[in-house]
Chain A
Amino acid sequence: MKTEGNADVFGYRHSGESRNPVPSTTWTPAFAGVTNTLEVTELIERIKQAITNRTPLCIRGGGSKTFYGRAGVGETLNVSGHRGIIAYEPTELVITARAGTPLAEIEAVLAANQQMLPFEPPHFTETSTLGGMVAAGLSGPRRPWGGSVRDAVLGVKLLNGRGEVLRLGGQVMKNVAGYDVSRLMVGALGTLGVLLEVSLKVLPRPASERTLLFQPGEAAIRAAQLPISASLEVDGKRYLRLSASARCVEQAIAQMGGDQTDASIWAAVRDQTHPFFATDLPLWRISLPAAAPALNLPGSELIEWNGALRWLISDLPGKTLRQRVVTLGGHATLFKGHDGGGKVFQPLPPAMLALHQRVKLALDPQRIFNPGRLYPEL
């Protein structure tokens, strides 16, 4: 896998494969639902071919988020075969898996050990993978309280645009050696490299969770110490999820009022199967400071993250919408309902765009990976 050609020249004491051995003492293959069918050597070969032929590669995992971002171009590089959980030691709160591992499999293994991905990532379809989750960088309802995908990434193994295997970050919570390239991969939509393995911090599942529904006009109590782990406002109704020990949750419910309701609303919103999302009109994902005032834009709106994430279905011109969003200190992504060719992500100021271009070239000098998926210039 890793070429050792330079090891003697430079006198390195550790080769790429002997260092950072992934702990495997407690991982029983019997848990593993999928086996690896795609070796890194094959991927390196494809990348080297692409460099030689100057043909871009469109990286594909489970294909659950092909709608997200600008349209992909180039030959499909399907990486979903590179899969399987490599290491999971529940008491370390760390899981390491190959990027093609289905998200559902990872979550099932964690759940069996009363643990979870704290950022509650959207799946959209059953096929979504770990690598796609990191590349898209989208977090779900628990994000303001449990952190983001990026917060949980501890390290990655990736292929850069020179076809080299790099291990960056690690499998430990604290690591400040080298630049934080592993977190740079989150949300880069595959434009900086092909993810091979990802190590994530995981957290214990709360002992108890309840969902409360507040009808229009019914005020939910706002107190700093309530164990809230998700919020939602849609159709005039407000939903709150409480997560803590059973007694703590019961005490909070007694304080707050509202009606207990089904927890399935959170997955429905996360994966956009909730009726709100059934539309052919443009769907905007608007990220704002939580206390920013109302958008006051035409369209229908669903609000998550205590106000920090607002979904807007609106055919307002992007420029007008973004002017308002920027005034409020946020940014807007054209999430769905577009042709893949326009300004999907908030345009960057010239100096930032130029820096992005240089960062892209530092990792992918031939612009092989997902060109144009994030911005036309990358």
Chain B
Amino acid sequence: MNPTFLAALRAALPANSLLLEAEALRPYECDGLSAYKQIPLAVCLPETLEQAQAILRVCREHQVPVVARGAGTGLSGGALPLADGVILSLARFNKILRIDADNRLAVVQPGVRNLAISEAVAHLGLYYAPDPSSQIACSIGGNVAENSGGVHCLKYGLTVHNLLALKVLTIDGELLDIGLQAFDSPGYDLLALMTGSEGLLGIVVEVTVKLLVKPERAQVVLAAFASVETAGAAVAKIIGAGLLPAGLEMMDNLSIRAAEDFVHAGYPVDAAAILLCELDGANAEVSEQILALRAVLLDAGATEVRTAEDDAQRLKFWAGRKGAFPAVGRISPDYYCMDGTIPRQHLARVLGRIGELSTQYGLRVANVFHAGDGNLHPLILFDANQPDELHRAEAFGTDILKLCVEVGGTVTGEHGIGVEKLDAACSQFTPEELIQFHAIKAAFDPDGLLNPGKAVPTLHRCAEMGRMHVHGGALPFPDLPRF
């Protein structure tokens, strides 16, 4: 490391906020995508805004790349260190600064865990809606960087729909206020632009989130189907009937059996597919809608329709779904989780094609699906100890993502491009679009020091696509529910 740079970092931070030794850096070598590992130059753990600003100014002056990191649970390698860069950890920005029940908002620091927000406001009958599967561990700053989703996106939206304002540091260390506590703010919607920008545009140092009133009642219905196609058609019929479920999830037979063996949720293991449909809202309305929903499901050919009898059973139904990833982890040495989104009407075609690819590549695939919003998580089962299987899993995954783009969808619904899907992004964007993205990046960060090389592939990389391979990886944090 350049000694002048090191001296400047030391001057900017107290000794306990700067990690330099190999063993101290090791825990930061990867995020939730552990297939990629890299030891950074240093890890900075600022505790104050002034320290964070000083780090950025030093890095700008010395042209050292900066990778922001929250809880490190991301699934696309967005927080993967760079060999010549520092990690800027926001872990110590971990305070809930203000809860404003009247305006239904909370002002929090970026290192606050997603679930901690809902826990802190539960006594007010409020909650923060986006619920990524890693919500007990992931930080709100990371949620902003990735525009995280969850199982309730169809009705309640993604992170971008549940933010009011951000405080952001530019690479120059300048503090910007983006958004207001009002419903809109003057000028361009930089709040939307920042959300999901994967740490390439600025460093989020404060987040104002919207809070929602907890619904009076939530009720879940489980429906079994003899084919994936009828289950897919039932989803369209539910929406067509004017119902707007809070959660609408589909699992195929392999996922059902794996989940049932794992959590004993009471799933029908001989069903080709099940739907879990949750309705929430006012008590009277939920009662009416559950009746309507049951009728739609039976009419759509469900072989069995079960309404959770109480909250314990509702949670049990969900436990199977939320435990699907680790459940699949029990039946296969490794699996590779995809994150494409498709227009729902192409579900049967896409699942059919995934089935064909499964045969072609000789690898099993378990499908769990945010059916309401079209976000697919096919889990490709493989054994990393067989080198050829990893290679085949990667190729299979790439084919699935290309298929998603071909039917009008996207290569990533909620996990982000990071480093993992840079090649896949080449199939989604034209050179003009990529050049536009790079121009926007330069408007915020002219020297390209904020998380360079992530999220937006270079034209050169896309030109070489075909000779490169997407790398898979088993999930770390195996104890976290993934959905």
Residues of A within 8 A of B381 (CB): none
CB-based contact B184/A287 at 8 Å: yes
CB-based contact B459/A188 at 8 Å: no
Which residue in A92, A93, A170, A183 is a CB contact (below 8 Å) of B193? A183
Is there a chain B Cβ closer than 8 Å to A320's Cβ?
no
Residue of A nearest to B200 (CB): A179
A290/B103 contact (C-beta < 8 A), A19-B406, A174-B370 known? yes
Is there a chain A Cβ closer than 8 Å to B285's Cβ?
yes
Residues of A within 8 A of B408 (CB): 20-23, 170-172
Q: Which of B336-387 contact A (CB under 8 A)?
A: 341-346, 370, 372-375
Q: Which of B181-212 contact A (CB under 8 A)?
A: 181-190, 192-193, 195-197, 201
A12/B431 contact (C-beta < 8 A), A175-B413, A176-B412, A179-B193 known? yes
Residue of A nearest to B408 (CB): A20
Residues of A within 8 A of B431 (CB): 6, 10, 12
CB-based contact A172/B413 at 8 Å: yes
A362/B440 contact (C-beta < 8 A), A173-B154, A184-B192 known? yes
CB-based contact B189/A183 at 8 Å: yes
Which residue in B188, B374, B430 is a CB contact (below 8 Å) of A2? B430
Is there a chain B Cβ closer than 8 Å to A236's Cβ?
no
Residues of A within 8 A of B3 (CB): none
CB-based contact A186/B189 at 8 Å: yes
CB-based contact A93/B239 at 8 Å: yes
Question: Interface residues of A: mostly helix, strand, loop or mixed?
Answer: loop
Is there a chain A Cβ closer than 8 Å to B282's Cβ?
yes
Interface string of B278-313 (1 = CB under 8 A from A): 000110110011000000000000000000000000
Interface string of A21-34 (1 = CB under 8 A from B): 11101100000000
Is there a chain A Cβ closer than 8 Å to B147's Cβ?
yes
A25/B345 contact (C-beta < 8 A), A181-B436, A183-B192, A227-B285 known? yes
Residue of A nearest to B342 (CB): A172
Is there a chain A Cβ closer than 8 Å to B432's Cβ?
yes
Q: Which of B263-271, B315-323, B461-469 is the contact stretch?
A: B461-469
CB-based contact A174/B161 at 8 Å: no
Residue of B nearest to A15 (CB): B430
Is there a chain B Cβ closer than 8 Å to A329's Cβ?
yes
Interface string of A297-310 (1 = CB under 8 A from B): 00000000100110
Q: Which of B244-270 contact A (CB under 8 A)?
A: 244
The complex places the Cα of A374 from the Cα of B187 at a distance, in Å, of 7
The complex places the Cα of A351 from the Cα of B192 at a distance, in Å, of 18
Q: How many residues of A contact B (CB 8 A)?
A: 97
Q: Which of A249-291 contact B (CB under 8 A)?
A: 251, 287-291
How many pairs of A and B residues are in contact by the CB < 8 Å rule?
A: 298
Residues of A within 8 A of B437 (CB): 178-179, 181
Residues of B within 8 A of A374 (CB): 187
Is there a chain B Cβ closer than 8 Å to A372's Cβ?
no
CB-based contact B161/A147 at 8 Å: yes
The complex places the Cα of A89 from the Cα of B125 at a distance, in Å, of 36
Is there a chain B Cβ closer than 8 Å to A369's Cβ?
no
CB-based contact A251/B158 at 8 Å: no
Minimum C-beta distance from A354 to chain B (A): 9
Minimum C-beta distance from B448 to chain A (A): 14
Minimum C-beta distance from A137 to chain B (A): 8
Residues of A within 8 A of B370 (CB): 174
CB-based contact B343/A19 at 8 Å: no
CB-based contact A143/B183 at 8 Å: yes
Which residue in B188, B346, B426, B442 is a CB contact (below 8 Å) of A187? B188
Is there a chain A Cβ closer than 8 Å to B55's Cβ?
no
A180/B195 contact (C-beta < 8 A), A150-B189, A359-B440 known? yes
CB<8 Å pairs between A and B, sample of 7: A25-B345, A176-B158, A177-B429, A224-B125, A287-B180, A345-B187, A349-B177
18 new A-B contacts at CB < 8 Å, known A90-B240, A248-B285: A92-B374, A167-B433, A171-B408, A172-B375, A174-B413, A176-B417, A179-B440, A180-B193, A187-B184, A187-B189, A192-B188, A204-B244, A224-B213, A287-B180, A291-B103, A305-B183, A345-B186, A362-B440
